Amino acid sequence: MELRHLVTFKTISDLGGFTKAAENLGYAQSTVTMHIQALEEEVGAPLFDRLGKKVVLTQTGEQFMPYAIEMLTLYANAKNYYMASPHPSGTLTIAAPESLTVYRLPTIIKEYVHLYPQVQLILKPSYSNAEALRLLRTGEYDMVFMLEKEWTESDLFVEKLIQEPMLLIAPPHFQSYPWPQLLEAISNSTFLSTQQGCSYRKLFDSYLQEQGVSPKTSLEFWSIEAIKQSVMCGLGFSILPYFSAISEMNEKKLAGAVWEQGTTVFTSLAFHKSKWQSPAFKMFLELVRKHSSVWEKQQS
């Protein structure tokens, strides 16, 4: 029995309707309906009657309400207890794709572990945005980082942290080649891409189709580092986040150019709107926002 379902149940009763409860909680009305259906399945009987435009508790709903209030009160008391603790503890599970795990999160994690050693921090690989968001909704993940174009979800809080330029990278002997020549060269070469499900890969694949460019051959890699090393040795071309390849570009180990025509991609984080934000969660979120402001300065 999920707390967010109990919150929805009580809010409908307090406000007298599904629509008002949805507006108050920031949900789509379909989400509110889903919460109540899930509760009714667990309780085994309807909780509300619709009498014209009014929504009232059934007899079962009236009998269930004291238990719902008691559970919500216990939750509030437990929350206040941990909020009062000066030392965050518990477990925090975070998912992120390889690029963000390698190039964005290490400094955040280093500082967090130093400041809050009593928190068990678990970092999970995210190979698919859809799967990561599913596990976020089930509660297995507390927070998910993504490289994605702008999007919204009715039940999730999504925060854009920084806009991420993309780099078309090429072997070193393509130094100073303009964008049109790089695209033309792709047609006679191998294109190295990240795994299926990567948003910027799908965006660039669509762009190549629009431009009528088709690589001679394509290879799919599991690792950004493997892609970079392969491009450095002359195997072919790839599209990667700016932050993951700019160091090698500056050192002339890679050639390439910024994808100016690309659909905007962001590093974003997402978490459930109904999730209780523990002290451990809040402290991590605070560090993420602090570090993302540093990323902006480093990129400018």
Whether the Cβ atoms of residue 25 and residue 19 lie closer than 8 Å to each other: no
- Residue 81: its pLDDT value, please? 57
Give the pLDDT band of residue 70 (cuts 50, 70, 90).
Answer: confident
Tally Cβ neighbours within 10 Å of residue 260.
Answer: 8
Q: For the chain, which residues make up each domain, given as ranges?
A: 3-83, 90-140+273-299, 166-258
Interval 90-115 mean pLDDT: 93
As a whole-number percent, the residues of the chain with pLDDT over 70 amount to: 95
Helices marked H in the chain? 3-15, 18-25, 29-43, 59-83, 98-103, 106-115, 129-138, 179-186, 199-210, 224-232, 242-250, 279-299
For the domain made up of 166-258, the CATH class stated in words is alpha beta
pLDDT of 291 above 90: yes
Interval 261-287 mean pLDDT: 86
- Residue 77: its pLDDT value, please? 65
Give the pLDDT band of residue 86 (cuts 50, 70, 90).
Answer: low
Query: Which one, of 13, 75, 2, 21, lies nearest residue 47 by Cα?
Result: 13
Give the pLDDT band of residue 201 (cuts 50, 70, 90).
Answer: confident
Q: Which residue has the tokens 């500082």?
A: 111
Q: How many CA atoms lie within 13 A of 68 on its CB side?
A: 25
**CA gap 40, 180 in Å, rounded:** 60
- Residue 79: its pLDDT value, please? 66
Helices marked H in 251-278? none
Q: What does pTM read for this prediction?
A: 0.68
Is the domain covering 90-140+273-299 a CATH 3.30.470.20 domain?
no
Same fold, 3-83 and 166-258: no
Q: Which CATH architecture has domain 3-83?
A: Orthogonal Bundle (1.10)
